[in-house]
Structure 1
């Protein structure tokens, strides 16, 4: 509260003059008194409260005095001040990465309260809310209703994936209406270098400078040994204090523990020997820190699937197709291929099907091809989830294998078969088809390697909200995702890429007749807490402006109302005379 024109305080003499006028003006009134005794009593009463009597019988006096007092107040120019956000348009960039769950209450909860406070100070100006991630999302756009903004802020959730702040800020820049738009970034910490070269917009970063205690599981791996499985858990103490922790490994009803002590900024490898032959294990570190999202990590004991050995006698388009899928390709002579290799083999030597190595057979070296004509008929199978065989031309086929399942055929003749052990046989040579000219060819090779090198019960490792092509096929075309027995959502084949859940953990992907496990893991960037600060960059000078709200318009209305009432009182007084 304040007044903008204190020089007009002298006008306070006007209501004082009116009071003096009413006090000392003479007004005679005829009154009959029956006797001298009553006259004396009457005079005593008037002398006891002369001024009060005068005031009680003059309503016009009260109204005039009130009007004059409000006039004096209006001339002083009273006002109130409040803070409002600087700018005419606002964009809230909200960090939804896992590190926002640090602290108690969490950084995310604190930022939600800060966003509500700033939304209230926006004063009805449009606000846009954008969440971070690989695919930034607009929650609300140019919203002016404060209740809608508060409801949208309350519904925000941490999505655990990397913030990808630079990408999100570039996206927010495209939403800015003009130079009066201010971008508020709500995060835990943001390096000033990210905004160093951005001078076209105004940025206000809201961060935290507190140092929190954190112990994280950086890596957790399993390997097979002669005495059983061996597990190694890598711990990192990102704190300035020494901490004691308990490392716990579990698989079903099996549990192993180890007590460790971590010095500040210490990395420690915790080995576990002679573990039972279980595939799926989970490591947990029990420690009193301020960030729990990186205290758990799961892994699966599966053979490596990032390399393949190709028979050098095959057409070079096969090696080119595998290289396009980012696999490590090893070329070997036909006589050098080992039937007991740990890596998948790609060859035309049928005798290698008897070995333990997984084999993708393309053609046959023990049979002669025969001519065929017709379209390819493919059955529902994970190998064809993304590799359509429409319009592919095949001129010749080799005889099929007995006891193999036929998953694609031409004119009733088997084209692609799968052995009971999971080996895949493509019964033609690459030079006898135009398949390499189609995008489905490298996709089929990728699906084949995923099938040969992977575990049929394990879908793979994912990061939160990761979009990926996966080999899933069922009769119904629908897969349900569960965690700890609770249904989460469904994935429909062909509806787009598979999107992993946002929260880290072990999940079950259940089809009509098949159940596969998948593991969602935090990115390593989300296992380190950083202390930041709040600052302004770009064209931003102040985060808030001070706005004055004048009471003069309301005082003028009140004065006019008093004048109207005063006139009505005066009119009625004249009418009753």
Structure 2
């Protein structure tokens, strides 16, 4: 039982006032006197006016005190909590933040040992909907990365249960304050409304900065006890050393209160590469380094074993591009180009196609280099062996720069040279044409002209199926460009632009955040596909890429489930284009499962009831049943009884 208004206690001053009145009440006592009848009246007055007499056990006194006490109770608006039976408008806030995917804290060995808090919340919500009042209207709000009104003033139980069943966890930054503000606005000026908050209470510190005013009763239901700790991979990265040796470092946090001993496993392209034990004190962190990791495109760091929150038990890292790119130069011999490439700091490997003529006659093309180059440069016509097999695959998946080639050569109509704005042509101004012969070739759809001579393209650049392409339509042997002072600058710009997209992945992004993807002009369709980690283990489905008017957008929203995702795309001809890998991470603020913050709620009616998982029935929130009318009725009955006693003329 509770009281909604303690202001009614002021009426409690009537109780001592009644007692004081009885202390000063005139009391007439019949006394037999044998004589002196004239003194009788005087003696009565003296007895009746005697103050501070001893209180006697009188029925009228107790009736008056009981009536005053009942009136005080009625003014304090008494109520009791009862299961269900709500009326009016109920706003339900369902917390679907990342921490709700953690285990609900059931007893080990039970049937729901790994049941998540989100699953527990769904059970509680469905049970509440089954017992909702006949005239109760429910507005269902989803607390995720942004407030979402799933249903508004709904009375259909089936529709409410379908909306609850379809809820999924949102691993991005949760909009705690925004959702509470929306609920406060929906219940403002509605005295019949009330708010139910289903949440584990794992609210970050920013959510509690400044309370939100509610004008209606607010109840909080906590699914599970939330007593388990959590271990999280805070950071993980790899980088190449001087001799190409890959090293890695990881930071792991223990949010529990007890010391933790576990091991960290590093996988390179799906194969176990290293494993190290780690010991972390309660509430502490540890840094672990890994040396001489085998070369791989993607590395995954995973904690051994399981804890209550699995979304932060792993992290991915992509091989960083080295400061000095590896360039494969296919040339019959061009000292100017080779030296200009070396001046950029690149490691240049020269392969002479003419030396492979004998092998080609025997149908034995040379093997591609053991270490995949970062850039391929072809000086002159492309050799025949690069058209098929592993070489064709290498050129398709590697940034390519070509000079000249096979085809008919023509002379421009005039020598007017124009250098267009592009990263390759920065700080370059060609007043005179560098050559008098150009290949008669059409620019593909993905190409953008960067140098023109006599109105004809002399060089173009762009992305072909996601890979950088730079094409000069003249051979260096037909040009005086290597003799010009702009040539080293041009080569440096070209190498920098070609290796700008050389990273093996898109990096790391929070769930639901915006991601920029370098897309080619020939892309026709694309999807996000789970490739590894938490998303793949939980059976996440592919997500279609965002489009606008049939065009795939280069700025995409990252998937909402943590793990390794691949952005797969296809061209207009149906051919698969190179994919992009992205690590999606949950909001790190959700990893601290212990030390939950109080809800930022204020107001006279707020915080009325908090139900938790301490063994009580928390599947059904309680509603207030007013006792005001009962207290007022009892007070009226006592007053009528008192009036009857008073009419009898007795105060016994």
| Pairwise TM-score range, normalised by the shorter structure | 0.5 to 0.7
SS of aligned partner of 1:471: coil
Q: Could you tell me how far apart the structure 2 residues matched to 1:230 and 1:524 are?
A: 24
Q: Distance in 2 between matches of 1:414 and 1:502?
A: 45
Contact 1:203 1:539 in 2 (8 A): no
Contact 2:424–2:497 (CA under 8 A) maintained in structure 1 = no
Distance 1:93 1:415 in 2: 60
Q: Which whole-Å CA distance do the structure 2 matches of 1:257 and 1:188 have between them?
A: 34
Given the alignment, which residue of 566, 571, 581 partners 1:517?
581
Q: Identify if the C-alpha distance between structure 1 residues 423 and 527 changes in structure 2 by more than 3 Å, giving closer, same or farther.
A: farther
Pair 1:471-2:510 in alignment: no
Q: 2:251, 2:286 within 8 Å by CA — same for their partners in 1?
A: yes
**Which one of 278, 290, 300 corresponds to residue 282 of structure 1?**
300
Q: Distance in 2 between matches of 1:84 and 1:526?
A: 32
**Contact map agreement 2:256 2:594 (CA 8 A) in 1:** no
Aligned to 1:301: 319
SS at structure 2 position matched to 1:220: strand
Counterpart-to-counterpart distance in 1, 2:119 and 2:184: 25
Does 2:189 align with 1:126?
no
- The equivalent position to 2:424 in structure 1, one of 361, 379, 383, is 361
TM-score by length of 1: 0.56
Q: 1:151 to 1:505 in 2, by over 3 A?
A: same
Q: 1:399 aligns with which of 452, 459, 462?
A: 452
Q: Which residue of 2 aligns with 1:26?
A: none
Q: Hey, what does 2:211 align to over in structure 1?
A: 196
Residue-by-residue CA offset, 1:496-528 (whole Å, 9 max, x unaligned): 541222211112222222222221112221222
* 1:151 match: secondary structure: helix
Q: How does 1:441-456 map to 2 (within 5 A)?
A: 452-455=499-502
Distance 1:531 1:120 in 2: 33
Residue 262 of structure 2 aligns to a residue whose secondary structure is strand
Deviations 1:308-362 (A, max 9, x none): xxxxxxxxxxxxxxxxxxxxxxxxxxxxxx83399xxxxxxxxxx99xxxx9224
Structure 1: distance between partners of 2:598 and 2:131:
18
| C-alpha distance 231-87 of structure 1, shift in aligned 2 (>3 A) | farther
d(CA) in 1 for partners of 2:471, 2:178: 44
Cα offset, 1:107, TM superposition: 1.9
Q: Which residue of 1 is the match for residue 380 of structure 2? A: none
Q: Which of 530, 548, 572 is the aligned partner of 2:594?
A: 530
Change (3 A) 1:546 1:456: closer
The answer to whether the Cα contact below 8 Å between 2:229 and 2:257 also exists between their aligned partners in 1 is yes
Contact 1:179–1:202 (CA<8 Å) still a contact in 2? no
Deviation at 1:271, TM superposition (A): 0.9
The CA deviation at 1:452 is 4.9
C-alpha distance in 1 between matches for 2:552 and 2:185 = 29
State the Cα deviation string for residues 343-386 of structure 1 (Å, max 9, x = none): xxxxxxxxxx99xxxx922456351289xxxxxx99654x99xx
Task: Give the corresponding residue for 2:410.
Answer: none
Computed over aligned residues only, the root mean square deviation of the Cα atoms, in angstroms, reads: 4.2
Please tell me whether residue 233 in structure 1 is matched to residue 280 in structure 2: no
1:417 aligns with 2:455: no
Report what 1:503 is aligned to: 561
**Is 1:151 aligned with 2:205?**
no
Q: Which residue of 2 aligns with 1:183?
A: 195
Taking the aligned partners of 1:267 and 1:170, their CA distance within structure 2 comes to: 36
Q: 2:178 matched to 1:167?
A: yes
Corresponding residue for residue 6 of structure 1: none
Gaps of at least 5 residues in structure 1 are 1-80, 306-337, 343-352, 371-376, 385-393, 401-409, 427-447, 549-577
Runs of 4+ in 1 over 6 A off after TM superposition: 423-426, 448-451, 533-536
Contact conserved, 1:209 with 1:531, CA < 8 A, in 2? no
Structure-2 change in CA distance of 1:184 and 1:168 (3 Å): same
Structure 1 450/278 Cα, relative in aligned 2: closer, same or farther at 3 Å?
Answer: same
Structure 2 distance, partners of 1:510, 1:210, is 39
Return 101-110 or 448-457, whichever deviates more: 448-457
In structure 2, relative to structure 1, the CA distance for the partners of 1:418 and 1:500 (3 Å cut) is closer
**What does residue 545 of structure 1 align with?**
623
* Residue in structure 2 matched with residue 489 of structure 1 by the alignment: 543
Residue 206 of structure 1 is matched in structure 2 by 221
Offset, 1:478: 0.7
Counterpart-to-counterpart distance in 2, 1:411 and 1:142: 67
In structure 2, C-alpha distance between the alignment counterparts of 1:275 and 1:368, rounded to whole Å: 51
**How far apart are 1:145 and its partner, in Å?**
1.4
- Do 1:200 and 1:539's aligned partners in 2 also have CA atoms closer than 8 Å? yes
Q: 1:419 to 1:198 in 2, by over 3 A?
A: closer
